[in-house]
Amino acid sequence: MEEYVGKLWHNWVTKTSGGHFPEAAVKLAEVEKTAGILFRGFGGDPGLKVAAATAEQHGARRNWLQRLAGSGEKVAHARRDAETLRLPPEIAVFPEKSLNRDLYLWLAALAASDVAPEQGWFIRNQQASRAALERYPGLRPRYERLVDAHIAARIPAAELLPDEAAQEEALRQAMRQPGSVDGLPPLYSKKARPPQPVLLWLIASEESAPSRVADPDEELPPEGTGNSATSKEAHKAEQVETPDNKNPMLAMFRAESLPTWAEYVRVNRAFDEDEDPNARDAAKDLDRLSLIRDGQTAKSRVKFDLDLPSAAEDDTPIGPGIALPEWDYRKELMQERHCLLQPMVASDAEPAALPADLAATAKKLRGQFAALAPQRRWLKAQPDGPELDVDSCVRNHADRASGHTPETGGYLAQARCERDLACLLLADLSMSTDAPISDSHRIIDVIRDSLLLFSEALTATGDRFGIYGFSSLRRQNIRFHLLKDFSGRYDAAARGRILAIKPGYYTRMGAAIRQAANILAEQAASRRLLLIITDGKPNDLDLYDSRYGIEDTRMAIHEARRMGLTPFCVTIDHEAGAYLPYLFGPAGFCVIRKPEELPRRLPLLYVQLTRQ
């Protein structure tokens, strides 16, 4: 009963205090795609991704009901940095849902119109607001509604200290008429609080820490082995030094040395290295996470799967390796010979027949794709040929009778219609493909079946094709697996190499695309299709896991297009819509929502791409 009454009281006082309307709440997931399109359409950096912002204590004055309810202490401010546009995970500050949604759209437009990033927070937001309203006048009615609703919910200046009141009046004027206030009045009183949060503005983003560079001696878990239930919420964090023990007397006393009843009871007690099941909930309550490197792991275990297999068990390398460039978007510089790509071929692959469970599907595909095979057709009005063209002979005779000289021949000739195209299929073989999609199949199994059926279908058409796979372990070890080259036949040996593929390491996609493009560019064909199959975004152990990898992959795709190739990506990543349009363009990719459908849909997708 006590808990029930307490819950009723909490709900009532929180609702009465104002500033939060859960029935009109709009979540970021509902407008993330729209906000991203609006941000990029208004000229924002297309490489930025949209993500959730963190809630922070603002320290501003609150009304007495908020203090009574203990609410309104934190607010999730919108901000942008070099890699991310962060918006509040939920907006429920207005009683109308349309206003909450409009606030998301306004923040996206404001971030795209940041014309004075070198200015301070107060001037910068005014100039950005004025630029957005001047460029897009249609936003003004929505903006004015947002300003009126936001100002009505703020504490009136009359209820604040004089210093605070002066700042509040300046903020209200700056919101109503952006650019009309030159500066924010200072605070002199010791009791003065910071100004109330301006929800229509972006806050100044803190200097982001440099991208993570992995320690060469550090053992990191392979890709795809993380906890699938990891929260996607953002957290403020800082890196600190390991604290020193400043009170040695306390270290001499260890409470765990005292005997307790638990010492004599046979229970399954936890150990220091056991994972805390409540750690994620505890992190949500912290304003800032402090991280240290103390040389200890969160969990100790014996690892039999080392980073690289022994030479006796590994695939066979082909040649000394190929040095390839990599794009650094921060310096706007192409780093020559920055990566080392090693072509490889499976050492344990034995010639094999098509698996029995794929035989029926393969037979059906071969029948369907046989219609695309080159056929002979008759050419009319030829100067010579095995048969007469009756229509052309009659026309020529009529021309002579009328005094004209015939301009066409009178024979039929046969010509073979060739499909002048070549396709290179590049498959992602990173460790994440080891993830299961059902009780009996993994992603790598689906990719393997897709490659086999794709090969069966293209063999029926007679089209030239090559198949390669890739994975990586930092920039000096990019593994490029030869499954079938353009000069080789699709036979039992090629099937054996496809059946021997296994999950590798990480996904340094830019170098793999560059090498695949170089191979495909050597093929003499009027149309050359570069088809990429992946299950996630570019990543590796070093800074490639950030925007650096996205930008390098995008540059590699642009290079392939300049070579006359047509790159197209097929992915099973449900979050691909956040980055693939930036990489391949809106019509340059396809998301397969059900991975088990990939083997059947890949050949049909090839037909659609080659008919365009």
Two structure tokens written together for 598 = 């990939």
What's the alpha-carbon Rg for the chain, to the nearest Å? 32
Number of domains in the chain: 3
Residue 483 falls inside a structural domain: yes
Q: Distance between CA 163 and CA 56 in Å, rounded?
A: 24
Q: Percentage of the chain with pLDDT > 70?
A: 75
| Whether residue 307 has pLDDT greater than 50 | no
Last-in-domain residue among 176, 203, 232: 176
Residue 468 falls inside a structural domain: yes
pLDDT attached to residue 217 = 41
* Higher per-residue pLDDT: 109 or 13: 109
pLDDT attached to residue 313 = 59
Two structure tokens written together for 137 = 């006048």
pLDDT attached to residue 210 = 40
pLDDT attached to residue 33 = 85
Last-in-domain residue among 127, 151, 176: 176
Q: Is 237 exposed, middle or buried (0-12, 13-18, 19+ CB in 10 A)?
A: middle
Between 228-232, 345-349, 411-415, the lowest mean confidence (pLDDT) is in: 228-232
Residue 88 falls inside a structural domain: yes
Residue 61 falls inside a structural domain: yes
506 and 406 in a single domain? The answer is no
| Whether residue 83 has pLDDT greater than 60 | yes
Confidence of residue 262 (pLDDT cuts 50, 70, 90): very low
Two structure tokens written together for 467 = 């198949």
The crossing angle, in degrees rounded to 10, of helices 97-112 and 121-135 is: 100
pLDDT attached to residue 376 = 58
- Per residue in 50-72, pLDDT (tens digit) is 888 888 877 777 775 666 656 66
Q: Distance between CA 564 and CA 559 in Å, rounded?
A: 9
- Rounded to the nearest integer, the mean pLDDT of the chain is 81
Residue 185 falls inside a structural domain: no
pLDDT attached to residue 275 = 53
pLDDT attached to residue 284 = 60
16 and 147 in a single domain? The answer is yes
Rounded to 5 degrees, φ, ψ at 341 are -100, 130
135 and 7 in a single domain? The answer is yes
Q: Distance between CA 38 and CA 109 in Å, rounded?
A: 7
- Per residue in 27-45, pLDDT (tens digit) is 998 998 888 889 988 988 8
Average pLDDT of the residues in 265-278: 50
405 and 429 in a single domain? The answer is no
- Residue 402's domain comprises 375-416
pLDDT attached to residue 304 = 41
365 and 379 in a single domain? The answer is no
pLDDT attached to residue 496 = 95
411 and 535 in a single domain? The answer is no
* Higher per-residue pLDDT: 579 or 11: 579
What DSSP string describes 1-51?
A: -HHHHHHHHHHHHHHHH-S--GGG-EEHHHHHHHHHHHHHHTT--TTPEEE
Average pLDDT of the residues in 217-221: 45
Residue 572 falls inside a structural domain: yes
379 and 358 in a single domain? The answer is no
Residue 281 neighbours by CB under 8 Å, 6+ apart? none
pLDDT attached to residue 127 = 94
- Per residue in 163-217, pLDDT (tens digit) is 889 999 999 999 999 999 998 888 888 888 888 889 999 987 654 434 444 444 4
Average pLDDT of the residues in 374-383: 69
| Whether residue 520 has pLDDT greater than 60 | yes
466 and 388 in a single domain? The answer is no
Q: Distance between CA 193 and CA 62 in Å, rounded?
A: 10
β-bridge pairing 421-428 and 464-472: parallel
465 and 519 in a single domain? The answer is yes
